[in-house]
Amino acid sequence: MRKSTRKKIAQSIGFLALRAAMGLVLAVLFLFLYDIGRKGGGAISWEFLSQAPRRGMTEGGIFPAIVGTLLVTIITAVLAVPLGMSAAIYLHEYARQTRLTRLIRLSIRNLSGVPSIVYGLFGVILFVNAMRFGTSILSAGLTLGLMTLPWTITASEEALKTVPDSYREGALALGATKWQSIRTNVLPYAVPGMLTGTVLGLARAAGETAPILFTGAAFYLPYLPRSLGDQFMALPYHLYIMATQHHAIQQVRPLAYGTALVLIALVLGLNMTAVVLRYRLRRKRR
């Protein structure tokens, strides 16, 4: 066989393998979504979305859990977004690249790999006990915020890295101060990437159970929280209860699937927001 034919065959086999891998991943994903959609779709109704659970959570809806998850995610964002972006700007634009900054960066990368239950325990010690916020939306949101910080910092730093140095130098050469060059000639081009990474981090936080388990999520509260100091219901925790801890697991299974469907829709929605946001901002720059 000629060498070029052999190379072509090798290439076809390679492509086929890549396609098969891609197909497998997609198949698993769709199977998963289909299963949840099929089993949870029936539970979705306006009542399910807008009412509190009733009769020991065997009837009624998940409205308090939706509100709780949204509120907690807002607290998470308030902590993680400004702090994470600022830290990334400092690390990438200002800090001298020494052994210390390398160590800090390594620590941040490692923090994003720490299991979420560890953040949960840390949140209990710091926010619930030491800072006396009690088990509350505030404690849970801050705990999730801490967990999300390494993600926002890393994503923001990666976004800053994609802005060419020539933008910075060009601005400096025209008599811009360092901050002017960053504010007017670096951040506008880094922000879409920063936001994407941040929203993805938030979506992940919204779906977490372990960090809110001890810091504020309640088993069953048939009313809405009245302040940030209140406990709250959250979708992921509610799902966990419905799926494993409920006294009538078989009976509430459709409700559990419905909750899962809402949670997935919420997280996917957040991810889509990130994509749309990035697309919009990119187009505006053109």
Partner 1 sequence: MSPETSVAKIETRDLDFYYGPSRALKRVSISCHRNRVTAIIGPSGCGKSTFIRTLNRMNDVIPGTRVEGTILLDGKDIHSPDVDVVDLRRRVGMVFQKPNPFPKSVFDNIAYGLRINGMKNKRKLEAVVERSLRGAALWEEVKDRLEDNAFSLSGGQQQRLCIARALAVEPEVILFDEPCSAIDPIATAKVEDLIENLKKSYTVVIVTHNMQQAARVSDYTAFMMLGELVEFDRTEKIFTNPQNKLTEDYITGRFG
Which residue lies nearer to partner 1 by CB, 132 or 285?
A: 285
> Can residue 96 be called a binding residue for partner 1 (CB under 8 A)?
yes
Nearer to partner 1, 101 or 271 (CB): 101
By the 8 A CB rule, do 206 and 266 touch?
Answer: yes
d(CA 209, CA 123): 13
| Size of the residue set binding partner 1 (CB under 8 A) | 21
Please state the closest distance from residue 243 (CB atom) to partner 1, in A: 49
97 binds partner 1 (CB under 8 A): yes
The CB-of-194 to partner 1 minimum distance in angstroms stands at: 16
Asked if 184 touches partner 1 (CB under 8 A), the answer is yes
Q: Any contact of residue 176 with partner 1 (CB under 8 A)?
A: yes
Give CA separation, 234 vs 24, 69, 146, 227, 284, in Å.
32, 5, 18, 15, 36
Structure tokens at 33: 């979504």
Question: Which residue, 132 or 286, has its beta carbon nearer to partner 1?
Answer: 286
Which residue of 12, 110, 162, 180 would you call a contact of partner 1, by CB under 8 A? 180
Which pair of tokens denotes residue 246? 């409920």
Q: Does residue 47 belong to the site contacting partner 1 (CB under 8 A)?
A: no
Q: Residue 51: which of 227, 224, 176, 242 has the closest Cα?
A: 224
Place of tokens 């190379």: 7
| Cα 164 from Cα 251, distance rounded (Å) | 58
Considering beta carbons, is residue 96 or 247 the nearer one to partner 1?
96
Measured at the CA of 132, the angle between CA 128 and CA 137, to 5 degrees, comes to 55
Q: Is 177 in the site for partner 1 (CB under 8 A)?
A: yes
Identify the CA nearest to 79 among candidates 160, 144, 153: 144
Instruction: Tell me whether strands 59-60 and 53-54 are parallel, antiparallel or unpaired.
Output: antiparallel
Q: Of 139, 154, 156, 185, which lies in the binding site for partner 1, with binding defined by CB under 8 A?
A: 185
Which residue in 138, 144, 171, 228 binds partner 1 (CB under 8 A)?
A: 171
* Among candidate residues 189, 208, 195, the one with its CA nearest the CA of residue 267: 208
Q: Which residue, 51 or 101, has its beta carbon nearer to partner 1? A: 101
Residue among 4 and 98 whose Cβ is closer to partner 1: 98
Measured between alpha carbons, how far is 241 from 105 in angstroms, rounded to an integer?
37
Q: Is 11 in the site for partner 1 (CB under 8 A)?
A: no
- For residue 255 the two structure tokens come to 């409700």
Verify binding: residue 166, partner 1, rule CB under 8 A.
Answer: yes
Q: Rank residues 101 and 112 by Cβ distance to partner 1 and give the closer one.
A: 101
Residues at the contact surface with partner 1, assessed by CB under 8 A = 96-97, 164, 166-177, 180, 184-185, 189, 285-286
